Amino acid sequence: SRREVEALLRAQECDPFDRARLEAGLARVRQLLLRRRHLGVTVGVRSVANDANGDQADVTVDIQAGPRYRVRFVGNYLLSSATLHTVLNEGKIEGLDPMALARSRAALESAYRLAGYARVAVNVDDVPARPPLDDDAERELRFIIAEGPRAEVSAVIVQGAQARKADELIDEIWRTVEAETPDVDLLQPVDTGDLAELLEQDPDRTPTARRQPRPVELSDQRLELLPRPMLRRKPIYVERAFAEGARRITDLYRSDGFLDATVQGPTPEFSADGTSIKVRYLVREGARVTVAGVRFLDVRPCAANASCVAPLNLATLLGQLTLEPGAPASYAAIADARATVERNLQDSGHPFAR
C-alpha cells in the first residue's frame, strides 16, 4: 500500500531531498516485496525534476511488484520436497535475474552433492502456476532435478610420492576429509542395505552362531522412524573436503623441507555406471631444502665500533634455537626461530628488538 511504501522510504513531502536515503528506502521496499514472494519486483527512481525556482524537487519512484511466485521441485526422488524447501524456498531467492537463479540452482546442487550425488544437475523454468500452487500464486519457479546415481568413493590414489609413503598420505587425506565433511543430517539418504544388515544383528547370539539372511522390506514410514545415527555412513565425494586434503599434503611436504612441493588434485574418476569414484592426486615433490647454517648479524650502529652499552651474546642466542644445520628448512620452522629470538631479546632488556 502507499502507506507501507512511505513508511519504508522514510521520506515525506517537504523533507530535504537525500538520494542515498531514498535508494536505501527503495531497497527496503524491494526486500519486503521479495518476502511476499514477488520475485520479479523492480524498483527505482524514474525521474527527479526541479521546479522553476530550483528549491523543490518532484521525485517519481517506479515500483513494479509483478506476480507472486511459488517454488516447485520436479524429479526429486531421494530427497523430499520438504527437505529441499529447507535448503531453498521463496524467501531465499533474491530475484529472477540470471545470477540469482544460478545461485538458487547451486544451493540445490550443493545439497545433493553433500548427500553423495556428485553428478546432480538442476535446471529452472519460470512457468504459470499449476494446482495446488495456483491458490496463492500466479507463477511458479520449477526446479527440474536430475539426481543421477549416488556415488561412493571407492579408492584414493596418490601418485608421485617418493619421500613419503603413499599409504601414509592417503590416511592423512581420509582424516582431513572426515574432519572437513559437514554433517548432512537429514540430507543423508537411508541406505536400505545398511538397514537390512542392522536388523539382522542379534546382540544375544554367540559369535559362532549362524543363520540364513532373510529379506527385509520396510515401508517409508518405518524408514523415517529408524535412528539415523545408527546407520553406517558411506564415504562420499565432497570436493572442498578432498581439496583440503590436497592442501594438507602440501603442508606436510613443505614442513619437511620440500618448499616447492605441489599437489595436483583431487581429480575424480567416475565408474561407467557413476556409482563409484576414484579420487586421484599427483604429487610433485621438488628438491628437499635443508639448513646449511645459522648465523646472527648485529645491525645496531654501535656494533660497528663495539661501543654498545649492552652487547649481544650471539652464541647464547644460537643455543636457544631448535633450528640446526641439516634440519629441514621449512617456512614454519624459520618463522618460529625468528619469533623465539625476538622474544628472548625482549625478555633480556631489548624491548624493541626485531
pLDDT in tens, 151-205: 889 999 999 999 999 999 999 999 998 888 766 554 444 444 444 444 444 555 4
Please name the residues in contact with 64: beta carbons below 8 A apart, sequence gap of 6 or more.
40, 41, 42, 43
- Of 187 and 274, the one with more pLDDT: 274
Q: Locate the DSSP E strands across 147-286.
A: 152-159, 262-270, 276-284
Cis check for the bond before 132: say yes or no (omega within 30 of 0).
yes
Cis check for the bond before 266: say yes or no (omega within 30 of 0).
yes
Confidence at residue 234, expressed as pLDDT on a 0 to 100 scale: 62
Confidence at residue 35, expressed as pLDDT on a 0 to 100 scale: 84
Query: DSSP assignment, residue 281?
Result: E
- Of 325 and 84, the one with more pLDDT: 84
- Of 228 and 285, the one with more pLDDT: 285
Reported as a pLDDT band with limits 50, 70 and 90, residue 212 is: very low
Confidence at residue 189, expressed as pLDDT on a 0 to 100 scale: 47
* Buried b / exposed e along 126-160 (16+ C-beta atoms within 10 A): eeebeeebeeebebbbbbebebebbbebeebebee
In the chain, the N- to C-terminal Cα span, in Å, equals 66
pLDDT in tens, 3-60: 787 788 777 777 777 788 888 888 888 888 888 888 888 888 888 887 777 677 788 8
C-alpha dihedral sign at 109, 114, 118, 120: negative
Q: Is the pLDDT of residue 294 over 90?
A: no
| Packing angle of the helix pair 166-180, 239-255 (nearest 10 deg) | 130
From CA 87, how far away is CA 83, in angstroms rounded?
A: 7
Confidence at residue 218, expressed as pLDDT on a 0 to 100 scale: 41
Q: Is the pLDDT of residue 66 over 80?
A: yes
- Which of 27-31, 72-76, 114-118, 215-219 ranks highest by mean pLDDT? 72-76
**Least confident among 72-81, 209-218, 280-289:** 209-218
Please name the residues in contact with 139: beta carbons below 8 A apart, sequence gap of 6 or more.
67, 68, 69, 70, 126, 127, 128, 129
Q: Is the pLDDT of residue 354 over 80?
A: no
Percent of the chain with pLDDT over 90: 23
pLDDT in tens, 234-250: 688 888 889 999 999 99
Cell 522412524 appears where? 225
C-alpha dihedral sign at 233, 234, 237, 241: positive
- Of 126 and 351, the one with more pLDDT: 126
Q: Is the pLDDT of residue 231 over 70?
A: no
Between β-strands 69-74 and 42-50, what pairing exists: parallel, antiparallel or unpaired?
A: unpaired
Residue 131 CA, chain-centre distance (Å), reads: 36
Nearest-CA neighbor of 241 among 273, 268, 261? 268
On whether the CB atoms of residues 120 and 187 are closer than 8 A, the answer is no
Percent of the chain with pLDDT over 70: 82
